[in-house]
Amino acid sequence: MSAAVFCTATVLIFVWIARFVHKWRNPKCNGLLPPGSMGWPLLGETLQFFSPTSTFDINPFVKDRMKRYGPIFRTSLVGQPLIVSADSDLNYFIFQQEGQLFESWYPKTFTEIFGKQNVGSLHGFMYKYLKNMVLTLFGPEGLKKMLPDVEQASNTYLKRWSTQNYVELKDATSSLIFDLTAKKLISYDPIKSSESLRKHFAAFIEGLISFPLNIPGTAYHKCLEGRKKAMKVLKDMLQERRTNPGRQQSDFFDYVLQELGKEDTVLTEAIALDLMFVLLFASYETTSIALTLAIKLLLEHPLALKELTEEHEEIIRERENPDSSLTWREFKSMTFTFQVINETVRLANIAPGIFRKAREDINFKGYTIPAGWAIMACPPVVHLDPARYEDPLEYNPWRWKGLDMNGATRSFMAFGGGMRFCIGADFAKLQMAVFLHCFVTKYMCKAISGGDILRTPGLQFPNGFNAQISKKDESVGVQI
């Protein structure tokens, strides 16, 4: 009898598993789903998505499936059914329909990492409210005030690096940009602080793009621990400001406290802290990657470095006082510099995917995107499309000559698009342009070791990028 019961139970379990697998691989749809594979139940194709590659080319996961299924296909990542769009028309449509047919969405693991009420996961009025808050710092007037501080910080750090045998450029630029942004946001001084906020962010970044297994010892666990410690520092600072209201720092934290103190405020402490965390993260990681890659590519392409240097030396020659500080007019005149920046972020593809979710069933080019399904737009496919960019894997800043380099287009979405176009895009460009001005006019750089890139799928420098920074001999002229 027991054997019969066991056999029956085994058959039932087998049938249940078979039905579950069949249902997983053949999801319901009121129309025609894009082709593709859902991978293994729950796990999906997550492991393939995170497979590393060492080129600027499109992620092999996306590239292989484009060949097999076309530019619009389905998959599953970390248990989430997903439509992947390598179609520029669909990507553009998604950004234009933000808040109507599509809404911002990120995987559950993302909200665990960045906070459930981070600015990227909020919608409607709350998102617009936070965006307007951030624009008080990163809008045109805020950036004009920030220009002298960015120049001073760049000169200070470059001078320090020039006294060392070599520097690891990714870590060095991260330190520069993080300290500058943290000062503007929360008046953070790494020298006076008893705890290294940047160290916690470093631990956070290390496991950010990793398999979401929260077990001690894993990169993902270290990531969550780094966030927890960084959030504690921010919360303690917020509490200290509240207990010492007379000590105004004239930074973004003070502005946040004013908003929290209003009777009719919609801002909560949790949302405010998550906002601070996201802004510091963006400054720590994304801009420093772009700046490190810009230096690497300029060293590898002497003609680009020569033209960039000439542009900035011309700025100095046109001044009445060569030692005067950068002006806003000079910053806006850096035409070739912005070509260098655009070409760098085009190749960097720091955001390998931009996530949205369908609010209702959506028909596009004969396919149906079911309501509730996530969709990932892939900027790298657009940025590396040979129909849009000749020799797309080649570094060519001159390709941007005469083109509009502001905002997003069907061919360029390094900073997103639509109403969620990156709030800090202009701040990132300001930091890069001002740093490059200080760098090429006063210093020369020699690569020592490292500099290899790795995508997992985000861009990394696995063995660092060690370089020697030295003061220019002005009597010799431009040096490479």
Q: Report DSSP state, residue 399.
A: G
**Which of 30, 26, 8 has the alpha carbon at shortest distance from 18?**
26
CA separation, residue 201 to residues 208, 287, 288, 424, 464 (Å): 10, 14, 13, 19, 17
- Residue 89's φ and ψ, nearest 5 degrees, are -65, -45
Name every residue whose Cβ is closer than 8 Å to that of residue 231 and which is 6 or more positions away in sequence: 115, 273, 277
Answer whether 213's CB lies under 8 Å from 207's CB.
no
Long-range contacts of 48-53 (CB under 8 A, 24+ apart): 49/75, 49/77, 49/457, 50/209, 50/210, 50/211, 50/456, 50/457, 51/456, 52/454, 52/455, 52/456, 53/454, 53/455, 53/457
| Helices 269-284/169-186 angle, 10° precision | 150
Say which amino acid occupies 473. D
Question: Residue 42 has which token pair?
Answer: 């729950």
The answer to whether the annotation marks 445 as part of a ligand binding site is: no
Distance, CA of 60 to CA of 414 (rounded, Å): 19
Annotated binding residues for heme, written as ranges, equal 422
